[in-house]
Amino acid sequence: MLDFSVLTNNIDDYLEGFKYTIYASLLGLAGSFVLGTLIAVFRISPFAALRGFGTAYVEFFRNIPLLLVVFLFYYGLSSFGLQLDGFTSGTLGLMVYTSSFIAEAIRAGIQSVPAGQMEAARSTGLTYVQAMRFIILPQAVRIVIPPISNQFLNLVKNSSILGVFAGLDLMYFGDQVNLDTYDAVSTYLFVGMFYLILTFPLAYATRVLERRMANAA
Amino acid sequence: MDFGGAYSWHNLRFILEGFGYTLKLAFVAIILSFVLGVASGVIRYARIPVLSAIVGAIVETLRNLPLLLLILFAYIALPQMGIKLSIFWASVLALTAFEAAMISEIVRSGLASVHKGLIEAARSSGLTYIQTLRHIILPIGLRRMVPPTVSQFISLLKDTSLAVIISAPELMHNVGIVRGQQESYFFPVIFLAALLYFLVNYGLSLLSKRLEVNEGARRKPTGKKAGPGAGTKAAAEA
Amino acid sequence: MKKNKLWGAGATMLLAIALVVSGCGAKNDNNGGGSASNDSASNGSAGGSEESGIIKDIKDRGKLIVGVKYDTKLFGLKDTASGNVEGFDIDISKAIAKKIFGDESKIELKEVTSKTRIQMLDNGDIDLIVATMTITDERKKQVDFSDVYFKAGQSLLVKQGSPITGLKDITKDSKVLGVKGATSIKNIEDKVPGLRVMQFENYQEAFAALKAGKGDTLTTDNAILYGMAKQDPGYTVVGGTFTDEPYGIAAKKGNTDLVALVNETLKEMKDSGEYATIYEKWIGEKPPTE
């Protein structure tokens, strides 16, 4: 059932795809964290316009499929003269899509810190930003780390969308191998194995963090 | 942009047909993945020798693979192992396997979040393990799982779009065909697709939020704010 | 319904187990069970008694199931207005249905892509592939082909006014678009060493990518490219053909009776002039003489 020659004969393709999957995941991870934090700050900012933007952003991207988001980057932007390849569009799509979930996780974390603390901090003379930076965020971070690491896990899995846009990832090269070998079972099981190499450690780390949080609480 | 041409009545009908298929696919997969997800979650929580370990290994594997891969596997690879499914049932199988694994994890961690003291109290008051599970752990745990489970259903509805890869005639597939008629149709049809997904999902998320508010109100007196339940909720959103 | 759901549940478990085996049990090389059942399955379909069975199966079912393209103008394109799929491949398929049943409407069309079609045939989802499929030695190992029913050749589609006028202008750094599973990918990669073709799920996507400016040229069979150029006059086919792509109708390996029937149908169509009529209707010119 499992033919190891499929792996050994096509190892170059597998590794090439694996490399791009890792690139997309790392870039997506960094980008979605930065973007997500920014949107979360918008969501709880004292300015109505920023809050409105943050809310619209989160609700829009959370409620449409990732496939559509990548479509917008890949085809939509080219109508405005911005030409992005499959890898770039896919990675940007991943960033934007995942950032909406991360923003929500961070917002929930920040708002879980009792409002009295902000008031107390402000009354001691700290500015809003200082209070955020030194009082609220350090507490919120502990709460949001498990859900965020879970989002990163999802991001790695979702990076497979690149394969649909010639994004050179594992999924894309998996299709190439299948078309060469016609052994879909072995081909895709090995593709799965490569994903598990990335996702199992992440899932384990998430579990540990969740447990630690639960014990601390 | 050409909204008039893109939205000709036969194109609209064709796109809505695709949306109907999307809803049908999501509905069947939601029912099946909910049943399998709750069952496997309880089995994993209950720590039944051997069985829990096997179910746990299956769930962990499925949960950590891309859905796109499972869809391709169900449609292209399973036939080579003698299991032949139509496009619809291959999509249902892959979606169910993946989403059930996600729900299983919500259920398991939801049950695990029930306070240990509560369980010990119940046991010491003379309840058997099964009785404790039935009357204490399940009612409390299940209530906490409602919002993340609804979030998972939203994910599932979005995830049906991946079935386009095996030519399932769902929304994205039909949108693609209409878009192929003319380049200027891109924005009109993409906008329509986004709107359809958004309307259903936003409705579901409002529902989820209401359930969450009720739950929060109920939980407040215990003084427990964002416990593991919060983590579980975000975990579900993919 | 109920039976299908049981199937689904059973298959879920199997899928899960298969994945676990691959993930955790790499050292387990005892897959005798799996391969044994595979062997018996393929023996069954290739067995003598089955050969005459396929046409009987089709007749019992009351319709011929053909895998065609839904996204390829001139050959197989879904028209959202009529709800029908139309094209050269469709008309050929109807003629085969007519040969079997005496009624061209006793047919069911299923959408295939270059990536999925062989596996759908193996799967038993479809009886025949009539989907712009080139006859190659590699594919002959997978399926049984009919005689050639259309002679295409690989060419290039570019935007009007493109500096690319033929294969000679393609370098390894050119951005060439294609479709997963098409022979044209390997052909051009062989002719232009170092070239990596960007591949999409189907022709619709590949053409959309070209129109969006994702590549310099789209390569596949000229017949398909002419359909695209017809769809959007801003694009044109350049440089003539640089390969021969004889299209064949594919049946599952061992279904020789069905292949014979298809060949007979094609011959009758050519003799009666029906083939020429269909050819002219879609391609816009008379078929080349043999």
Give residue C5's pLDDT: 46
Chain A nearest C-alpha distance from B160 (Å): 9
The pLDDT tens digits for C10-69 are 555 444 444 444 433 333 333 333 333 333 333 333 333 444 588 999 999 999 999 999
Q: How far does CA C78 lie from the centroid of its chain?
A: 15
Contacts of C231 in chain B (CB under 8 A): 180
The CATH number linked to A193 is 1.10.3720.10
In a mutagenesis test of the C interface, which of A3, A179, A185 is the best target, namely the one with the most C β-carbons within 10 Å?
A179
pLDDT tens digits, B77-89: 998 888 888 899 9
Reply yes or no on whether the pLDDT at C7 is more than 80: no
Number of domains into which chain B is organized: 1
Token pair recorded at residue C124: 């038993």
Helix (H, G, I), strand (E, B) or coil at A173: helix
Range of the domain at C134: 51-151+247-283
Q: What is the mean pLDDT of residues A81-92?
A: 94
Would an 8 Å CB–CB cutoff place B187 in contact with chain A? yes
Express each pLDDT in B90-145 by its tens digit. 999 999 999 999 999 999 988 888 888 888 888 888 888 888 888 888 888 888 88
- Please tell me the distance in Å from B61's CA to the nearest CA on chain C: 6
pLDDT at residue C272, as a whole number: 94
- pLDDT for C286 equals 84
- pLDDT for res B215: 58
Range of the domain at A136: 4-216
**Which domain CATH number covers C204?**
3.40.190.10
CATH of the domain at B77: 1.10.3720.10
CA-based nearest distance B81→chain A, Å:
8
* Domain assignment of residue B138, given as a range: 3-236
Is C86 in the same domain as C143? Answer: yes
Cα gap A9→A12, rounded to integer Å:
8
Contacts of B109 in chain A (CB under 8 A): 210
pLDDT tens track for C143-191: 999 999 999 999 999 999 999 999 999 999 999 999 988 888 989 999 9
Structurally, chain A folds into a number of domains equal to: 1
Do both C115 and C181 map to the same domain? no
Which whole-number Å values give the CA distances from B152 to B101, B145, B197, in the listed order? 11, 10, 15
DSSP string, B121-151: HHHHTT--HHHHIIIIIHHHHHHHHHHHHHH
Domain contains C79: yes
Report the pLDDT value the prediction gives residue A214, as an integer from 0 to 100.
66
Residues C255 and C225 in one domain: no
To the nearest whole Å, the CA of C220 is away from the closest chain A CA by: 17
Tell me, what's the pLDDT at C44? 38
- Between A170 and B216, the more confident residue is A170
Q: What is the mean pLDDT of chain A?
A: 91
Pairwise CB contact (< 8 Å): C119 & A184: yes
Residue to test with chain A: of C15, C174, C175, C198, most A Cβ within 10 A: C198
Q: C218 has which bridge partners?
A: C157, C177
**Sheet strands side by side (includes C128-129):** C107-111, C64-68, C128-129, C245-252, C143-152
DSSP string, A71-103: HIIIIIGGGGT----HHHHHHHHHHHHHHHHHH
Contacts of C213 in chain A (CB under 8 A): 78, 83
pLDDT of residue A33: 94
Structure tokens given for B100:
């059930």
Residues of A with CB under 8 A from a CB of C: 1-2, 74-75, 78-79, 83, 85-86, 164-166, 172, 175-176, 179, 182, 184-185, 189-190, 192-193, 196
Contact C180 A176 (CB under 8 A): yes
Instruction: Give percent of chain C above pLDDT 90.
Output: 61
Residue C116 pLDDT > 90 = no
In a structure prediction context, what are the per-residue pLDDT tens digits for chain B, which is 238 residues long?
567 788 888 899 999 999 999 999 999 999 999 999 999 999 998 888 999 999 999 999 999 999 999 999 999 899 888 888 889 999 999 999 999 999 999 999 888 888 888 888 888 888 888 888 888 888 888 888 888 899 899 999 999 999 999 989 999 999 998 988 887 899 999 999 999 999 999 998 888 777 766 655 555 444 444 444 444 444 444 4
CB contact under 8 A, A79 and C21: no
Flag whether C21 is in a domain.
Answer: no
> Which residues are paired to C107 by β-bridges?
C64
**Measured over all CA atoms, what is the biggest interatomic distance in chain C, rounded to whole angstroms?**
62
B108 Cα to chain C: minimum distance (Å):
19
- The predicted pLDDT at position C23 comes to 38
Closest residue on chain A to C178 (Cα) = A166
**pLDDT at position A216, please?**
63
Q: Choose among A85, A184, A193: nearest Cβ to C22.
A: A193
Q: Is residue C288, in this structure, part of any structural domain at all?
A: no
Around Cβ C149, how many Cβ atoms within 10 Å?
24
Structure confidence at residue C283 (pLDDT): 86
**How many domains would you assign to chain C?**
2
Chain C, 207 to 226: residues with Cβ < 8 Å from chain B are 207-208, 211
- In this predicted structure, what is the pLDDT of residue B212? 67
Does residue A54 carry a pLDDT above 80?
yes
Q: ipTM score here?
A: 0.90
CA A217 vs CA A114, A152, C33: distances in Å = 15, 23, 50
- In C, minimum Cα distance to B175 occurs at C80
In one-letter notation, the amino acid at residue A149 is S
Asked if C225 and C82 sit in the same domain, the reply is no
Are the CB atoms for C75 and C224 separated by under 8 Å? yes
Strands (DSSP E) found in A98-171: none
Q: Mean pLDDT throughout A134-163? A: 90
Euclidean distance between CA atoms B141 and B106, whole angstroms: 10
Burial C53-83 (b: 16+ CB within 10 A, else e): ebbeebeeeebbbbbbbbbbbbbbbbebeee
Q: Which of B100-104, B148-152, C3-7, C222-226 is the least confident region?
A: C3-7
Question: Which residue matches tokens 């004889």?
Answer: C246
Q: Which one, of C205, C197, C251, C199, lies nearest residue C70 by Cα?
A: C205
